[in-house]
Chains A and B, each alone.
Chain A
Amino acid sequence: MTINTEMKVRVAKIRQVADKVKRFRFERVDGKPMPVFSGGAHVIVSMRDGKALRRNPYSLMSSPEDTAGYEISVLRVETSRGGSAFLHETLKEGDELTLSQPVNLFPFDHRGKKHIMMAGGIGITPFIAMMDQMEREGRAFELHYAVRTRSHGAYWKDLQQRYGAHRVKVYCDEEKLFIPVQKVLENQPLGTHLYVCGPAGMINGVLGKARELGWPKQNLHSEEFLAPPPGKAFQVKLAKSNRTIDVAPHQSILEALEANGVEAPYLCRGGACGQCETGVVSCDGELEHNDHFLEPDDKASGKKIMICVSRITGSAVTLDL
């Protein structure tokens, strides 16, 4: 099942909130309310950039109860594949684009007694919505937020003002301050959950430390959306529909299929959710698995591929589509 009831929205407001970070507010063109979402949810933003159709996932950061509009924050990535450059440099207030329904792959565990969030850089965004929800529900939480410089870090001042410096701790690389992961994780009461969002190195480091300190994996949560890494061009052969499609170096398989009118299922487009898992019939080359979803066994079997972020090194792959 793919949820494809997309919403046409207008850009209501664009604001520069930190170095290289812009905040966008979207409201529905038809004036209807947005669905209420849960903290940690994301939407897929579809952008028509000249000839290219770009679809990227962004975490929702507005209040989950605000049905008048959705807000996202976008970091301008130096090596942008086009999405963040388009949003930062081309998109204007009043422009229209399309949003998917919200999908939550990073919800907080409602059974938890306490919630600890660790954010690195732009990884702060899902936590802004989560904290809004937790505060309203009267839940115990704390945020540890690592930023490169005070001016790069979005929202830390607002968050400290709103929730207090005892619950929002900011660590600044430039000031040689880092999240004291061990100290934070030691001696947390039973029933505490940990959530990490940021660069892969940070997620792996924090979760590894938590496991070392005896935290069970059920209490550890993370989210990282991957951009499909570029590679060499290759061909995708579709076994069922008997078609051959070219995948360009900067295109994902999913994007190449869509550009050729093939609708494949997807939800996160970032290698996290598993929705786009596709059977591999044969591969003339090596599969390059870039996702977080498939188990190592599945990756090694060569029978499955997540077409949103993974590709091949070689000439052609035949998919069960």
Chain B
Amino acid sequence: MLVAGIKSRPVYSGLNIDIHAKRHLFALEGEGALALIDQVKAAGADFLKNADILYVASGSRAEDHDRKLAALGADTFWLAPTIPVLLNRFHVMLGQAHMGTRIYLAGTEGFIGQAQQVAMNHGVDPASLHTEHRGSAARRVQCVHCKGITDSVTTSPYTCTHCGLSLLVRDHYSRRLGAFQGVCIDAEEPGTAPKPEELFP
């Protein structure tokens, strides 16, 4: 049901530590913790002395990833209770950051998209962010009709939590909104929407 080959579909090419960076700022969510831990395994722990880690556990609370991250011995580690609180601190840190700071984002797509929005507002080119998708494939989707955004959408079609339309989740992605686009699937004959399929577990 997904339309393939849409160019705006984000590509996450991995955290890949930039050894030239003078400072490394990590904003991680849920299973995204493991993306950093894997980097330390692969690249060594040297870069951590110039690293700041922001972490929110989200659905991975039971995994205790925060303890593993704290044990890495980065310059600073801060555990946020929720995504909005993490993003607020991220915003404040970016306001004081310098060129030479590399920004790394890992976690679900919805989290990466929202953190990317914050970075873009600081004049950061999204292509210069290092990103890695970890954890659920759930999507953050905007209803193109009522503009309401729904987080953690796992099925297509899904019912818009704002206006109640049945929406087909497309690969069409908005960087500005940090969200995929959901389009009414039964506009011609309301009520004939196919059954939701779990496409983004």
Contact = CB atoms under 8 A, between A and B. Distances in A.
A191 interface: yes
Given A212-B20, A214-B20, A216-B128, A190 B102 contact: no
Interface stretch (A46-54, A121-129, A165-173, A181-189): A181-189
A214 B125 contact: no
B127 A189 contact: no
B190 to A, nearest CB: 41
Interface residues of B, number: 20
Q: Which of A186, A190, A211 has the most CB of B within 10 A?
A: A190
A160 interface: no
Contact of B21 (A114, A188, A214, A218): A214
A112 B124 CA distance: 7
A214 B124 contact: no
A215 interface: yes
Contacts of B21: 214
A156 B163 CA distance: 61
B191 interface: no
Interface string B77-110: 0000000000000000011011111100000000
Majority secondary structure of chain A interface residues (helix, strand, loop or mixed): loop
A45 to B, nearest CB: 33
Contact of A214 (B18, B94, B95, B127): B18
A190 B122 contact: yes
Interface in A137-175: none
Interface string A215-243: 11111000000000000000000000000
A224 B20 CA distance: 26
Nearest to A116: B99
Interface string A96-121: 00000000000001011110000000
A192 interface: yes
A213 interface: yes
B100 A214 contact: yes
Interface in B107-140: 120, 122-125, 127-128
Given A213-B99, A214-B101, A215-B100, A191 B122 contact: yes
A185 B101 CA distance: 12
Q: Which of B95, B97, B102, B125 has the most CB of A within 10 A?
A: B125
Contact of B123 (A113, A185, A213, A214): A113
Given A111-B125, A214-B21, A218-B127, A189 B120 contact: no
Contacts of B22: 213-214
B20 A211 contact: yes
Contacts of A212: 20
Contacts of B18: 214, 216
Q: Which of B98, B120, B122, B128 has the most CB of A within 10 A?
A: B98
Contacts of A219: 99, 125, 128
Contacts of B95: 190
Contacts of B122: 113, 190-191
Interface in B14-73: 18, 20-23
A213 B19 CA distance: 10
B123 A111 contact: yes
A184 B14 CA distance: 31
26 contacts: A109-B125, A111-B123, A111-B125, A112-B123, A113-B122, A113-B123, A187-B98, A188-B98, A188-B99, A189-B97, A190-B95, A190-B97, A190-B124, A191-B122, A191-B123, A212-B20, A213-B20, A213-B100, A214-B18, A214-B21, A214-B99, A214-B100, A214-B101, A215-B100, A216-B128, A218-B127
